[in-house]
A and B are shown apart, each in its own frame.
Chain A
């Protein structure tokens, strides 16, 4: 869709300022772009490349590594149903099948109203709560078919209390100056400013 908006550009510059070298800000900026558009648009990647001083191809290389950075528009709500082994044993396939028939789309697709994208994902580390799913990466545990129907109803009605896709990043948090990591020169001269040494360490090791 678009490059970063003027307001987000301000945030981007603040984020870049937190790092010794601009390219370290690449991933936070990708989050910012995803928050803006719900996915990371190619124009955003090109914009980020300009901001951090790398080529768009390098941004693409990083962005495409991360499954959770979407490079095409997705629904407002990503519903990720786990099909890891525990969930599978406790009925995940049936749940996915049920979800596909309720939503009318195969997993990996977005419903026609653009609300919900269904995905079957690998283990999301909640095996004790199997079968489980995530809505925009917020957990729903021990999900039954009825729970799922109710969830879809709430999502469509906007009453599920889940922010639209992309609003995950912590990039907007303001770090007060006294908590900054500090910027050490990238040529490696001297110690990084955040390194505080125990006085008793002096003269020991290197």
Chain B
């Protein structure tokens, strides 16, 4: 066999099959439609040959012999027989062995009905056991963490969960112990399997040994109705949503080659609890008297009809437009809605009301022209073997869990070179080829040196806090692999610093595009790592100032769209920060919040407070009455994930379907319907009867979405990537000047953790308590300098506020930097953040 061969011809049960060199027999057979029973084999993990169930007759030239098909690679001329008498007898015997110690408690086991062991015993097993001795006994389910129970009696030791923990998640906190005839899976005593990805082990467990607390004893598989859908997170993870009696009970990951490979984070997997919460909004609310009578000046929120709530909303909007003009209405949020919802709200705001004060990001993202103007990468491009990934984003493990798993796999298994350009270590740091941990706010200088190779370190021998040698090594490594794809994961590495430095750093990295333009090099592309589920869809649908649906600016696309919409705003509006400022100044009369909680999310909390206080009418469309919605005058209950249908856009621009499986609670409605109805009351008839009809109009209205029919999206398993953009990224040449770093301070870095005080997490009982304790993380060497001991509670002061917080040592934090979680349930770091400064410096008060 020569090396150039790309096809290996094998025969499976008499059928000729073209296999890929190096492919396992079991995978080749499955692609050819021949299912080989197995328990331990999993296509996304290394084969171990633990269960022996996949033993089949394989003849590789020396006569047929029983071999495990998950451990034997295909070879030219191989003959595989999965139906021979010998195979059948072997499978029969393996199953009898596997069942020796497996309790026959299927009637009370959650896995019953969807259990590979049960199914394969029925299909291939002996039907009767000869084993009459006592089975192994263990304490019945023990918790391995707060979310997952382990029943060791049911375990067949397939090594899937332990392999997942080690290979995929990188958290080997469950292992085989007491190996021998007492082998069991367990954690170290008092050290739980605290992984963000533990729910995946439940999904891949081939028996009922691992069960998830939120699903235990909730339903039988045959009672579940299910749809394939897209979880609304920035990755667009493919999921199956399963429900029983009109209640969502479980999400299971779907193996999408382009996106999540079947994995989900625990936060997403168990967030269905929040959607089923008793605290969901079920009916429209308006201001009223304590006795429940609607009254616009009332102190309480009282239930009312949709008709009344929407009429009142339309009335206030009309009054505002007639009073101070359309720009006195502003829209914040919308990043959690479907593309269709976003489009209809955008058309209502920009085409009917006529305001451009619209922003889906809450001052915690990146400017829309940078996101839409930079060349966009796909996740698979980032994971191309031999490529380079520059991480200039918050820790993917905390914010984009499945992206972290993909990147981890790419670096560990596919030789992707990771260059970390962040102000602190991430969960990927120990895998990074080069760690350029710069001082907060100084990413641009580091990026410029990385790209230009012109490392003028000056007397300190460093640039932006990064040693010149480290930078030179990274620049050399980048240049060495310049003919492979370079992908930048771009996001706000710290919410305690302005967006400016990040955008400038991106502009510096974009200079690589010109340098690489020669030849047929794949060049550089960006994956935006922004916060909130469908934020990229929101930008595509025009929920950003100065933008229209389809990645066009108001200036470029306005006249074309005016034909369809009737009109478009006359001038560009303000972003979230500008809107809140205008609101605080009394320029905004009506503020519409679309699933947005500015009080909880906007880095400038004071601006959000004064805006909500000052605005005449706040209209909120949301799932929950969170702190911002509680201050609203009109609250409209919206349909959440699983209760609505539409499409979702992920960080790549990949459009996939979101499908409905249950009805929304109470009278909650989908946002597109709310916006359409509101438009009708404002004398604009959109004529939409379904989200599919909305998509029909999007395809016509949005230049980047032409030809993306729903049929095309459904034909492709992984959806369709919308690639076109007519927006060019034109960064200013200005360089944000970062204040000089003084030796007595610590410069603050603040980013989100996975478990935070977010609305969904706090309304999901299983997740609400999982947040880590809040600590100010400081480099071990800095303790002496600032004069405190690790573990002590200290008073931290910035020039806008102060707070008390325990301080802890963390070697991943560079010297001179302090890290505090942004969205912690117990403590609000925004007290310290100066929203108008480029960076925030802290002092620790001693004595």
The answer to whether A61 touches B179 (Cβ under 8 A) is yes
- Is A2's CB within 8 Å of the partner chain B? no
Given known A-B contacts A54-B172, A57-B173, A58-B172, A64 and B188 have beta carbons under 8 A apart: no
Q: CA separation between A142 and B578, bound complex, in Å?
A: 93
Smallest CB–CB gap between B838 and chain A, Å? 38
Interface flags, A39-76, vs B, CB<8A=1, else 0: 00010011000000011111111001100000000000
Closest chain A residue, CB of each to CB of B166: A58
- Is B178's CB within 8 Å of the partner chain A? yes
Q: Which residues in window 162-183 of B have CB below 8 A to A? A: 171-180
The answer to whether B188 touches A46 (Cβ under 8 A) is yes
Q: CA separation between A46 and B175, bound complex, in Å?
A: 14
The answer to whether A57 touches B179 (Cβ under 8 A) is no
Smallest CB–CB gap between A69 and chain B, Å? 12
- Is B187's CB within 8 Å of the partner chain A? yes
Total interface residues in chain B, CB < 8 Å: 15
Closest chain B residue, CB of each to CB of A62: B175
Q: Show the binding face of B for A, using Cβ within 8 Å.
A: 171-180, 186-189, 191
| A-B residue pair count with CB separations less than 8 angstroms | 40
Closest chain A residue, CB of each to CB of B182: A64
Smallest CB–CB gap between A119 and chain B, Å? 16
Q: CA separation between A54 and B171, bound complex, in Å?
A: 10
The answer to whether A61 touches B176 (Cβ under 8 A) is yes
Contacts A42-B188, A57-B186 supplied; 7 other A-B pairs, CB < 8 Å: A42-B189, A55-B172, A55-B173, A57-B175, A60-B177, A60-B189, A61-B175
The answer to whether A57 touches B191 (Cβ under 8 A) is yes
B171, B172, B175, B191 interface centre (most CB from chain A within 10 Å):
B175
Smallest CB–CB gap between B179 and chain A, Å? 4
Q: Which residues in window 130-145 of A have CB below 8 A to B? A: none
The answer to whether A60 touches B188 (Cβ under 8 A) is yes
Q: Show the binding face of A for B, using Cβ within 8 Å.
A: 42, 45-46, 54-61, 64-65
The answer to whether B178 touches A64 (Cβ under 8 A) is yes
Chain B neighbourhood of A60, CB < 8 A: 175, 177, 186, 188-189
The answer to whether A45 touches B179 (Cβ under 8 A) is no
Q: CA separation between A54 and B191, bound complex, in Å?
A: 14
Given known A-B contacts A57-B174, A58-B172, A60-B175, A65 and B189 have beta carbons under 8 A apart: no
Chain A neighbourhood of B191, CB < 8 A: 46, 55-57
Chain A neighbourhood of B172, CB < 8 A: 54-55, 57-58
Smallest CB–CB gap between A118 and chain B, Å? 21
Given known A-B contacts A55-B172, A58-B172, A65 and B188 have beta carbons under 8 A apart: no
Chain B neighbourhood of A45, CB < 8 A: 188
Chain A neighbourhood of B173, CB < 8 A: 55, 57
Closest chain B residue, CB of each to CB of A45: B188
Q: CA separation between A197 and B168, bound complex, in Å?
A: 39
9 A-B pairs with least C-beta separation: A61-B175, A56-B188, A57-B188, A64-B177, A65-B179, A57-B175, A64-B178, A57-B173, A60-B188
Closest chain B residue, CB of each to CB of A60: B188
Q: CA separation between A139 and B186, bound complex, in Å?
A: 35
Smallest CB–CB gap between B138 and chain A, Å? 14
Closest chain A residue, CB of each to CB of B192: A57
Chain B neighbourhood of A56, CB < 8 A: 188, 191
The answer to whether B175 touches A65 (Cβ under 8 A) is no
Smallest CB–CB gap between B489 and chain A, Å? 25
Chain A neighbourhood of B179, CB < 8 A: 61, 64-65
Q: CA separation between A64 and B185, bound complex, in Å?
A: 12
Smallest CB–CB gap between B261 and chain A, Å? 23
The answer to whether B189 touches A61 (Cβ under 8 A) is no
Chain B neighbourhood of A54, CB < 8 A: 172
Chain B neighbourhood of A55, CB < 8 A: 171-173, 175, 188, 191
Q: Would you give 25 A-B contacts (Cβ < 8 Å), ordered by A?
A: A42-B188, A45-B188, A46-B191, A54-B172, A55-B171, A55-B172, A55-B175, A55-B188, A55-B191, A56-B191, A57-B172, A57-B174, A57-B175, A57-B186, A58-B172, A60-B175, A60-B177, A60-B186, A61-B176, A61-B177, A61-B179, A64-B177, A64-B178, A65-B178, A65-B179
Closest chain B residue, CB of each to CB of A42: B189
Q: CA separation between A42 and B171, bound complex, in Å?
A: 19
Closest chain A residue, CB of each to CB of B178: A64
Chain A neighbourhood of B188, CB < 8 A: 42, 45-46, 55-57, 59-60
Chain B neighbourhood of A58, CB < 8 A: 172, 175
Chain A neighbourhood of B186, CB < 8 A: 57, 60
B174, B176, B186 interface centre (most CB from chain A within 10 Å):
B176
Q: CA separation between A55 and B186, bound complex, in Å?
A: 13
Chain A neighbourhood of B180, CB < 8 A: 65
Closest chain A residue, CB of each to CB of B165: A57
Q: CA separation between A57 and B190, bound complex, in Å?
A: 10
Closest chain A residue, CB of each to CB of B180: A65
Smallest CB–CB gap between A54 and chain B, Å? 7
Chain B neighbourhood of A64, CB < 8 A: 177-179
Q: CA separation between A138 and B173, bound complex, in Å?
A: 37
Q: CA separation between A59 and B172, bound complex, in Å?
A: 11
Q: CA separation between A61 and B179, bound complex, in Å?
A: 8
Q: CA separation between A55 and B180, bound complex, in Å?
A: 21
A45, A56, A61 interface centre (most CB from chain B within 10 Å):
A61
Smallest CB–CB gap between A88 and chain B, Å? 20
